[in-house]
Amino acid sequence: MSYTRKERHTPPPMAFNATPLVDVIFLLTIFFMLVTRFSSAEQTPMELPKPDHSVAELVKMTDRVIVNCTLVDPQAGAAGGVMFAIGANPRESLGAISDRLANVKALRPNIKVIIRADRRLPYADVRALMRMISRHHIELLNVVAHVAEAES
Amino acid sequence: MSAATNKTTPITLTREDVRAMRAKRGLKRRRRRRLATTVNIAPMIDVSFLLLIFFLVTTTFERAEGILSSSMPAEQGERAAVALPISPIVVRIQKTGEMHEDFAIKIDRFDGAPQTFDALPDFLRGLFKMPGFDEETPIVIVAANDVPWDHVVACWNAVVRAGSKKIAFAEP
């Protein structure tokens, strides 16, 4: 029995067209690469103040120290107490932070302080920190708040 | 043998001759198989997926952090009591209940202070138009101890929005 040419013809190998898949993956990857903002370890997660029509500016500061003021127990709220930390260091009392800031000020006289305080904290706790910073003759005081919606 | 007989005469074969010879020997013409040039995109897809998953997991959609700057009387620290030159505008924030939103705004010597920080800039701009007041008039923010920090920053933000040049914080 002879086979015709048509019968002997082998079907083409099944191919998976990955081009649209690659397109979509690249699109998503580029999107997430653009919108991702890597936060520094110094910036402890907390609820920052969100003023309406914020005038807070996105500023890159050099020679600065970030003091994080967080609630000891976020579930308990302001009643749980407040702790302070310089950057990513462990949380300490205000007195310990004061000693550290004094050392930093002695080494770097032009140091600037940035206060990152939880929005739920009582003003008295943050004011105590501000007074302590003032005692160390630190000129510039900077407070972190969320920027306006359009800027972010 | 002469040198002339050693010379090999060149044989020129035409394409038809070659075909005939191959047919005689029973050889089929071998078709040269062309290799398909394809790019192996599997590693690229692997890496792309890896990057995509990384960014998917790490991305958090949050508003960016900005800074409200202020200068302090550094040389003297807090011990220096700075005499305020002209009568300042004193903005007081008081807590009125247990909820975060329970607060009241009062402005010394002025009635009708707005009760939202969103409306405060317009009110302050109205005060700046009054005789004896302008953007250089110091604004003192006096917040009660139990007022959430959020409201103090919101008040500060509102005063900056009003165009005030001098902002101070005072003890309640």
Domain ranges of chain A: 5-35, 64-143
Please say whether the structural domain A64-143 has been given the CATH code 3.30.420.270: yes
Helix (H, G, I), strand (E, B) or coil at A64: strand
Handedness of CA B62, B65, B68, B72 (dihedral sign): positive
Alpha helices in chain B (DSSP H): 3-6, 15-24, 42-58, 120-128, 149-161
Question: What's the confidence (pLDDT) of residue A149?
Answer: 67
Give the nearest chain A residue to B71 (CA atoms). Answer: A140
Candidates A19, A24, A29: best to mutate against B (most CBs of B within 10 A) is: A29
CB contact B132 to A (< 8 Å)? no
How close A130 gets to chain B, by Cα (Å)? 10
How far, in Å, CA of B152 to CA of B169, rounded? 10
Summarize the confidence of residues A74-90 as an average pLDDT.
Answer: 80
Q: Is the ipTM of this complex over 0.85?
A: no
Nearest CA in chain B to A37: B59
Average of per-residue pLDDT across B61-65: 75
Beta-carbon separation of B77 and A52 below 8 A? no
Q: Which of B51, B70, B118 sits opposite A141 (nearest CB)?
A: B70
3-state secondary structure of B67: strand
**Range from A70-74, B3-7, B93-97 that averages highest in pLDDT:** B93-97
CATH of span B84-169 = 3.30.420.270
Q: What is the mean pLDDT of chain B?
A: 80
B91 pLDDT band (50/70/90 cuts)? very high
User: How much is the average pLDDT of B65-82?
Assistant: 61
Is the Cβ–Cβ distance between B139 and B84 less than 8 Å? Answer: no
SS (HEC) of B3-38: HHHHCCCCCCCCHHHHHHHHHHCCCCCCCCCCCCCC
* Range of lowest pLDDT (B55-59, B60-64, B151-155): B60-64
User: Which of A152, A107, A18 is CA-nearest to residue B40?
Assistant: A18
Name chain A contacts of B58, Cβ cutoff 8 Å: 36, 38
Residue B93 has pLDDT above 90, yes or no: yes
Question: What does the pLDDT average to over B31-51?
Answer: 80
Compute the average pLDDT of residues B97-101.
Answer: 84
Residue B168: predicted pLDDT? 83
The domain locations on chain B are 15-58, 84-169
* Inter-chain residue contact A57 with B58, CB threshold 8 Å: no
DSSP state of A143: E
**Chain B positions in Cβ-Cβ contact with residue A131 (cut-off 8 Å):** 78
* Nearest C-alpha in B relative to A19: B41
pTM metric for this prediction: 0.68
Nearest to B172 by CA among A121, A135, A123: A123
Candidate from A22, A38, A58 with C-beta closest to B66 = A58
The verdict on B27 touching A (C-beta cutoff 8 Å) is no
- Mean pLDDT across the stretch A121-138? 87
Confidence of residue B2 (pLDDT cuts 50, 70, 90): very low
